[in-house]
Structure 1
Amino acid sequence: MPPISAMSPDPAPGPFERLVALVADDLDRVGALIHERMSSQHAPRIPEISAHLIEAGGKRLRPILTLAAARLCGYEGEDHVKLAATVEFIHSATLLHDDVVDESAKRRGRATANILWDNKSSVLVGDYLFARAFQLMVETGSVRVLGILSDASAVIAEGEVLQLITAHDLTTGLDRYEQVIRGKTAALFAAATEVGAVIAGRPEAEVAAMRTYGDALGIAFQLADDWLDYGGSAESLGKNTGDDFREGKVTMPVILAVQRGDASARAFWQRTIAKGRQGEGDLEQALAHLHATGALEATRQAAREEAARAIAALDAFPEGEMKTALADIAGFVVARTV
């Protein structure tokens, strides 16, 4: 994959491309560091599986947010590159583990590592990437940064376990659902942006604002994903549409559809989600229920509100290219649902 800075510019760059352009040099260095640290002298399967996932065309939004947050806060050192690589390693490790747990066959438009290799290799390489992440954290010499990212790692694992527990459970409410997405997605977004302000030595109000921005952006991102699983395309998701339905995941669209549906609709969800008995045409029927109850539109609106909360958090910072780009990326995350 060529360096980001060497790629041909889009004649009409969108919000994501504009943000990438502002951190392109740093992002190239992050890519080089990731490639260096995912190597192994003794186990060639580690770089094989790591490269399959990390170099599969993902947008690297989370490490980009770390770089952008550091630059927004005036940081001029080098540790933001290590922290961005750390964030990407943590994210990649969780993806490898998630695909095993979910028995996923597709990720970013490609066969998953657990399909191409096996579950054991995927789990162990995920563990290796977590270890590499902690090595990079320690190299920054910041105990506070280590605390933020290690706490986020624990919350992510907790969120994944909570999602496992709530799968097929139609008694799950919106409060529990928010706990799940705060853990599995928003925790890393929040940590990724917060550490950028911390290493820059910014006042606590700005550190808190950066954390709020990441938290809200992460929630908006996950809400958009949960909507797209029913209302999007495989290209938009990088995985098969309807996977959440097939796996019995109880996401916001399903929770609202159950709460708002009639007895017939609730019986449908009980059979397909709670009992996991699904047949031909059930996904289409699920979509009909979701549209009839307004569950999909309500999920989209919730994503918009979180994006607005992210943008409002940026009021703590002076106007400039980076602030505008970070505000625009919040809109970009929600626009994926259009």
Structure 2
Amino acid sequence: MTASVSGNVLPIGRTSAPSLAPIMALVGEGMNNVNAVIIDRMASRIPLIPELAGHLIAGGGKRLRPMLTLACADLVGYAGTRHYKLAAAVEFIHNATLLHDDVVDGSGLRRGRKTANFIWGNSASVLVGDFLFSRSFELMVEAESLKVLKILSNASAVIAEGEVNQLTAQRQVETSEEQYLDIIGAKTAALFAAACRISAVIADRDETEEKALDVYGRNLGIAFQLIDDAIDYESDGATMGKDAGDDFRDGKVTLPVILAYARGSEADRAFWKAAMAGSRVGDEDLAYATQQLRSTGAIADTLARARHYGQRAIDALGMFAGGRAKSALTEAVEFAIARAY
């Protein structure tokens, strides 16, 4: 079974759908240690903090980013224990950004559950997000590596820049594809890249291997986000943890919208402007938008781009020896892409 990648071939090499099972099996024991760190560092004398943070962290996420840290550590032969705290730091950064994102977006549902801001309010969510960021930096410092601290702190700053960039682009239907890729490269891919790269750092591998893991994580992150963008118009709360068209109703100008707007007629462009401005967001409008995304090839081309970035991620692993870790990391990319099919 194969999938086309802009004229190339992304090998699946299996008769069943790809999954995260190989990477979960690879890092299962290590993730028990990571989870112990997470539980320990969520503790606070203020009861609301572990209550709210625990609601989000226990909300059904796959914890892909910390799993990537552990899998990459296995790939480069790291035999120590520092990656457990670093993987927990990565997860805290991710969850802090989720808490802040839900406040900014006014979201009421994440992974099929009510969001923290819906239950406890915006103020509590922002402040607990800040608490998780603080805990992540404590864990970075404890890794005793200035290079790791630099990579993860820079990623945190880049994520924040990406979120601000996305905020300025919200409802701006004439956002360019270049700007959009810059946004998701910052808000999503930067943490994927950092989560992978730090494993090579603590293993004292050379700059070439560091860069390869950075490229792997960055391209996986972009592919992951593009698939999310595409299936927002096809999903439901049971499969995606959010309702179909959430991005549409929130006025989020994602790549499918950018492509459909660029390819549409004058009337179609008027529709997209009205929709992104929030004046045409009913069920019939969503159905029309989805039809436009399909007829212009916007969904198909977004998926093709995701496959392209997925192939780049897989190619970045080429310098590493084959084995269980490399196979699991490859299938993680294939899983990210397969979610759309």
Confirm or deny a common fold (TM above 0.5).
yes
Q: Give the drift of 1:17.
A: 1.2
In structure 1, the residue matched to 2:139 is 136
The Cα of 1:214 is off from its aligned counterpart by 0.1
- SS in structure 2 opposite 1:141? coil
Q: Which amino acid aligns with 1:284?
A: A
Q: Distance in 1 between matches of 2:283 and 2:81?
A: 54
Q: Show the counterpart of 1:22.
A: 26
What's the TM-score once normalised by structure 1's chain length? Answer: 0.95
Q: Which runs of 5+ in 1 are unaligned?
A: 1-11
Gaps of at least 5 residues in structure 2 are 1-15
Q: Which amino acid aligns with 1:149?
A: L
The corresponding residue for 1:36 is: 40
DSSP-derived class of the 2:79 partner: coil
Task: Give the drift of 1:277.
Answer: 4.0
How many equivalent pairs are there? 326
Of all paired residues, the percent bearing the same amino acid is 54
CA apart distance, 1:236: 3.0
SS of alignment partner, residue 231 of structure 1 = coil
Partner of 2:55: 52
The match for 2:225 among 214, 222, 245 is: 222
Any residues of structure 2 matched to 1:43-192 within 5 Å, and which? 43-192=46-195
User: Separation in 2 of the partners of 1:223 and 1:149?
Assistant: 23
Deviation per CA, 1:110-130: give whole Å up to 9, x if none.
Answer: 000001110000000000000
RMSD value, Cα:
1.2
Are residues 1:303 and 2:312 paired? no
1-structure distance, mates of 2:312, 2:281? 38
Moved over 4 A (4+): none
Q: Distance in 2 between matches of 1:136 and 1:188?
A: 16
Contact in 2 for aligned 1:168/1:276 (Cα 8 Å): no
CA contact (8 A) 1:303 1:334 kept: yes
Q: How far, CA to CA, are the matches of 2:76 and 2:160 in structure 1?
A: 29
List per-residue Cα deviations over 1:159-193 (Å, max 9, x = no partner). Answer: 00100000111120100000110111000000000
C-alpha offsets along residues 101-149 of structure 1, whole Å, 9 cap, x if unaligned?
0000101110000011100000000000000000000000000000000
Aligned mates of 1:58, 1:279 — CA distance in 2:
29
Residues 13/27 of structure 1: CA separation in 2 closer, same or farther (3 Å cut): farther
Partner of 1:332 in structure 2? 335
Separation of aligned partners in 2, 1:319 and 1:194? 19
Structure 2 CA distance for aligned equivalents of residues 107 and 210 of structure 1: 29
Is 2:241 the partner of 1:238?
yes
Q: Which has the higher contact order (CA 8 A, sep 6+)?
A: 2
Residues of 2 paired with 1:207 and 1:277: CA distance? 47
Normalised to the residue count of structure 2, the TM-score between the two structures is 0.94
